[in-house]
Structure 1
Amino acid sequence: MDQHQQQDVRRFDHCPWLFADEAAEEQRVAQRERQREIGGDSEVGERCYVAESAAVFPDLLRLGDDSYIAAHAYVTGELTTGSDCTLNPYAIVRGTVSLGNGVRVGAHTSLLGFNHSMAPDRPVFQQPLTSRGITIGDDVWIGSHVVVVDGVTIGDHCVIGAGAVVTKDLPAWTVAAGNPARPLRDRRGATAPLAAHGADPLTRFADTARAQAAEVLARCWDGNRYVDRPGATPTVRAHCDAVEIADLLLGSVPEQLTADEHGRRLCAAQAPDTGLTPELGKPLPTPDDDGFIGDGPALYHILSVGYALDLLGASFPHPVRGAAKMTAGELITRLEGLPWRDGAWEAGAWIDAWATAAHWNLRHTGDGGVQPGTLEALFGWLLTRADPWTGMWGSPSPETGRLQIVNGYYRLTRGSFAQFGLPVPHPERVVDAVLDHARDSRYFGGDRDNACNVLDVVHPLWLCTRQLGTGSRHQGYRLADIRAWAERQLAAILPRWQNGRGFGFGCGPTGPGPQPGLQGTEMWLAIIWYLADLLGRADALGYRPRGIHRPEPSRSFEPDHRVDRS
């Protein structure tokens, strides 16, 4: 290649938009050969350009028509783009990243769709990698020197200012900037701040909650530990709730500790020999004959600690031994022995904990994972035991109505079908049963609502509505009834926010009570998102749950796999 041709290559590498109009036929042939030489599972669309100087080593690449990868860009992992997308010079795209149509990625920007764990038992370079992926919508402009971290979704038509660090989801039409990135205004409203669009009470609520989040967290810090509310005893769950709230509203960790210290404390709480996390200052529960436990705080800590660590970019340092060693036969015996007749909530909570332990264990190598066939046994048993009249497990009773089976259904499906991305059986019957339960005046209306009971209704309705909206002949099944209920709930819930204090859990003897605290605040924030999403208005909140109450599956079900080595 002569000096003139080399100069043209450098010019096209840095200004690839010129290639379509100015390249000679010899240069077009060379570019087609460059594209064919890309490794991995690669498909490049029409009128694309991939710079000679770009380091493009994907496992999977789908580059849409009229797109380019400019000089010195670095691309690994799995990248999928729509048409008219551009990675400008020195851009970095790693992990799992999906771009819509018309996305502009500025120079020196990093889209990092993967993360390292950071458990304290080994050096960082030996930690396993995780990937939730980054999703970016259509017509998005990302400025120079921006960092977008794993797990983030950026909605359609967003603009991200230069130098921003995007750590949480951004709804469509958001103009955001800063470290961490914060919404500045709605792109459709010129320079009007987002809060000025006051016609939407969801936006007003979210702006208020976000502005007061640091105060809510600070009042529940006793100087050394987190408490659910001032004067209460420190608990593991309070720490986890604080991490969830800060991530949801602030896109950061609670400021009382560094991210490393949050992770270190939560990791250190796990007992290495069992993989369980007891309550602060309490002994570990004694495992049952099959190696797993039946109830108590340590059961829920599998969820709360695991997801708090996940938000911190860490993970349990040890597998949950009882779940790792349990055979399919032992699991079936345990499932058959759960109190389905008079304790369906307890049964559902046990399945939630066991399935979540299996989910975390699948991140471990060596003695982690699960025994072959146990997950298949779990889902096979559940699918064949669901009542076709209600879609649920267990039976209603004259004393409590559908409370046990509906609340148990939420816990059971959260940890199994929803967490592993599988469809639930009989979704229409579930909608009928849940709406019938939501009319029970013993639990709903006036001052009788609490966060558990409302969450245990809204999540099944959301889960089944999403499933029925993907091609079923019952698409939109009872949607008017569902949305009317959601509207009533939002109208009742939003005014309950107490300035600087958050939400109370609810009245009555269940849960921590009516005083504002971390548990109530974390749960009601998630409930509000699900209610808003049922109404098609979740974008107005500017937040999306990423922890225990995340709407997306945490992993895909892979039959008979002991270990996830991704």
Structure 2
Amino acid sequence: MAERTDNDGGAPERARPDFDHSPWRFWSEGDQDEHARQLARQRQLAAGPGAHRFGERCFVSELASVEMDELRLGEGSYVAAGAYLTGTLRTGRDCTMNPYTVVRGDIELGDAVRIGAHTSLLGFNHTMTDPDVEVHRQPITSRGIRVGNDVWIGSHVVVLDGVRVGDRSVIGAGAVVTKDVPAGAVVGGNPARVLRWRVPELAPPADGGSVDGGSADGGSAGRAGHLAGASGQSAAARPGALAGALAAFADTAREQAERVLARCFDPTALDGGAFVDRPGAAPTVRAQCDAIEIADLLLGRAPDQLPADEQVRRLRSWQDPATGMVGPLLPDGTQRPPEAGLFDPAAGYHVLSVGYALDLLGSRFAEPVRVVAEAEAAEIVAGLERQPWRDGAWQAGDWVDILGTAFSWNLELGAPGQPGAREALFGWLLARADPRTGMWGEPRPADGLLQIVNGFYRASRGTFAQFGLPVPYPERVVDTVLAHARDARYTDPRRQNACNILDIAHPLWLTRGAGHRSAEVTALAERLLAEALGHWTAGAGFGFQAPHPKSAGVPATEPGLQGTEMWLAIVWLLADLVGLADQLGYRPRGVHRPEARRTLVR
């Protein structure tokens, strides 16, 4: 209750208890003292042990129990009397937790989510796998609950862990929701079923009637064409336009490919000329490889600037016979020998780029990657343990990618490695994958899920993807990537770069067989694809970072070979996710090839 001081100067007394149960009236009807008391309560909560933040005109009743690790309320959101909140809750604007709601576990709400009285959102669960151990002594799991925008959840509803609730949906009073709720649907009952459609254009052609598991549109891949995208136009009306845009883009890219490559070739560099990432830059090992990949994708041949056999000779000559690694080029064009061990940071990516460039040219490394061929299982495990999984999962994933790719090349050269070395790599990854995220490492307050998503792409690319093995928790990977994709710091068109979008596109492509949340995946892929096509610069290709007036002059936005190679792969992956890759007429065969390169056999 709000406080009021009596005339004797004693303790404040309660006033206007109706605000605790009808908090939507508080900021319009409450007086200045009551407003000050509420703001003081929010400051007190924010100063406590949890990561609590409150937008403008929020309200948290003093009769609510807030026992959270993190509470972030968007502008105009409120928590009424009797609510019980534990775990993590992040909301958009204008969200309500009405009297006696229970919100526990890992919960995220979009904008304008209204939750009725006595409703429970339970974003965690007990395990009960061992019948000889009391349930309360067994581990707790949490997949979290995600609710979209403009959702009305009625009174006495129960939403269970792992559920995704689509935008503009309604959950009727008393429903028990155990599966994902389609966008635009009205559901009710126990278990909840689709009753009708609040947004008729999102309805599938034939409604099966139940809230199916697996995707926020009912789990059917066939329904993906009915989920509204960012443009507000239903996907059913978009495939023709998007297919046409893809075909036009591919024609343009092929027509301009020779200009893109010629722009980045320096005939005075090295012996006979060399590629640079951008005009005026120094030649690098990667630039030669990116040029080979771009020419293969768009022209179906090696770049015209150097004969293919000369490129093969050059790339093979750069491999250090002692380590099997390829050292970096110095600014003067000479090469620095690679450092010994697993792995020289400046040489590591060349295991991928040079190996795949040679493969595209019909060749291979002259020598095995000896630092991997000679590594014992214990050394592999020690290297994995040394990686900064907690605060630098991308760097750790990069290390794994290099290791897995080196194993692949070595197998082709008859150097399978020391007994148990490959098994140690895959065993460690399987044992350490987090069942909550499907990934390795942990989110960081500074950049959210960015590190673990980017690290997952690199680690899984060189191991599970490259060898055709299933990842351990594909549905959780999808959940994590979709949650990450909501972070505008990385997916807003003004802020996109090739690394961050590739690290979304490939994991979703890799896990597409699970069918999990397929409509959401398709809708996201459509949006990112349409945006990616707009990043192309005529006659120059793609910059690593998407061009935008606010980032004009930033070097990363200048078109170059690295950005062009990566975005071409991104476009294919996203196009394949929406079933339109055949419009492009190309398929990546190099570093960013979608399918496995080999199986894990000796």
Pair in the same fold by TM > 0.5: yes
1:234-288 deviation per Cα after TM superposition (whole angstroms, max 9, x unaligned): 111000000000000110000011110111111111111111111113422422x
Match of 1:493 among 513, 528, 532: 532
For residues 464-475 of structure 1, what are the structure 2 equivalents within 5 Å?
464-466=511-513, 468=514
1:349 aligns with 2:398: yes
Q: Secondary structure at the match of 1:442?
A: helix
Amino acid at match of 1:318: E
Amino acid at match of 2:452: I
State the structure with more CA Rg: 2
Match of 2:307 among 246, 252, 258: 258
Provide the residue aligned with 1:222 in structure 2: 266
1:431 aligns with 2:431: no
Match of 2:441 among 374, 390, 394: 394
Determine if contact 1:244/1:547 at 8 Å carries over to the other structure: yes
1:376 aligns with 2:423: yes
Determine if contact 2:438/2:474 at 8 Å carries over to the other structure: yes
Determine if contact 1:225/1:234 at 8 Å carries over to the other structure: yes
Provide the residue aligned with 2:365 in structure 1: 316
Q: 1: CA distance between counterparts of 2:454 and 2:311?
A: 31
Match of 1:210 among 240, 248, 254: 254
Shift of 1:307: 0.1
Q: Secondary structure at the match of 2:304?
A: coil
Amino acid at match of 1:519: Q
Determine if contact 1:319/1:369 at 8 Å carries over to the other structure: no
Q: 1: CA distance between counterparts of 2:326 and 2:357?
A: 13
Determine if contact 1:198/1:204 at 8 Å carries over to the other structure: no
Q: Secondary structure at the match of 2:511?
A: helix
Determine if contact 1:505/1:512 at 8 Å carries over to the other structure: no
Q: Secondary structure at the match of 2:280?
A: coil
For residues 400-549 of structure 1, what are the structure 2 equivalents within 5 Å?
400-466=447-513, 468=514, 476-506=515-545, 513-549=556-592
1:337 aligns with 2:376: no
Q: Secondary structure at the match of 1:443?
A: helix
Q: 2: CA distance between counterparts of 1:199 and 1:353?
A: 35
Provide the residue aligned with 1:307 in structure 2: 356
Query: For residues 228 and 310 of structure 1, do their structure 2 counterparts lie closer, same or farther at Cα, with a shift above 3 Å needed?
Result: same
Match of 1:292 among 334, 339, 342: 342
Amino acid at match of 1:309: L
Determine if contact 2:328/2:338 at 8 Å carries over to the other structure: no
Determine if contact 1:227/1:238 at 8 Å carries over to the other structure: yes
Shift of 1:441: 1.6
1:279 aligns with 2:318: no
Query: For residues 215 and 325 of structure 1, do their structure 2 counterparts lie closer, same or farther at Cα, with a shift above 3 Å needed?
Result: same
Amino acid at match of 1:326: A
Q: 1: CA distance between counterparts of 2:428 and 2:312?
A: 36
4+ residue runs of structure 1 moved beyond 6 angstroms? 196-199
For residues 41-190 of structure 1, what are the structure 2 equivalents within 5 Å?
none
Amino acid at match of 1:219: R
Q: Secondary structure at the match of 1:420?
A: coil
Determine if contact 2:393/2:440 at 8 Å carries over to the other structure: yes
1:461-480 deviation per Cα after TM superposition (whole angstroms, max 9, x unaligned): 110113x1xxxxxxx21111
Q: 2: CA distance between counterparts of 1:259 and 1:389?
A: 47
Q: Secondary structure at the match of 1:362?
A: helix
Provide the residue aligned with 1:96 in structure 2: none
Determine if contact 2:342/2:383 at 8 Å carries over to the other structure: no
Q: 1: CA distance between counterparts of 2:453 and 2:323?
A: 31
Q: 2: CA distance between counterparts of 1:330 and 1:345?
A: 21
Determine if contact 2:373/2:417 at 8 Å carries over to the other structure: yes
Q: Secondary structure at the match of 1:501?
A: coil
Identity of aligned residues (%): 60
Amino acid at match of 1:334: G
Structure 1: gaps of 5 or more residues: 1-195, 469-475, 562-566
Provide the residue aligned with 1:9 in structure 2: none
Shift of 1:198: 9.9
Aligned residues: 349
Q: 2: CA distance between counterparts of 1:415 and 1:197?
A: 35
Shift of 1:197: 10
1:403-448 deviation per Cα after TM superposition (whole angstroms, max 9, x unaligned): 1100000000000000011000110000000110111122120310
For residues 10-21 of structure 1, what are the structure 2 equivalents within 5 Å?
none
Q: Secondary structure at the match of 1:496?
A: coil
Amino acid at match of 1:462: W
Shift of 1:369: 2.8
Amino acid at match of 1:204: A
Provide the residue aligned with 1:41 in structure 2: none
Amino acid at match of 2:449: R
Amino acid at match of 2:574: L
Determine if contact 1:221/1:227 at 8 Å carries over to the other structure: yes
Query: For residues 198 and 523 of structure 1, do their structure 2 counterparts lie closer, same or farther at Cα, with a shift above 3 Å needed?
Result: closer
Determine if contact 1:451/1:506 at 8 Å carries over to the other structure: yes
Q: 2: CA distance between counterparts of 1:425 and 1:207?
A: 39
Q: 2: CA distance between counterparts of 1:314 and 1:304?
A: 13
Q: 1: CA distance between counterparts of 2:487 and 2:508?
A: 16
Determine if contact 2:257/2:298 at 8 Å carries over to the other structure: yes
Query: For residues 536 and 198 of structure 1, do their structure 2 counterparts lie closer, same or farther at Cα, with a shift above 3 Å needed?
Result: closer
Shift of 1:345: 0.5
Determine if contact 2:264/2:560 at 8 Å carries over to the other structure: yes
Q: 2: CA distance between counterparts of 1:312 and 1:446?
A: 35
Q: 2: CA distance between counterparts of 1:315 and 1:484?
A: 39
Between 1:522-531 and 1:276-285, the stretch displaced more is 276-285
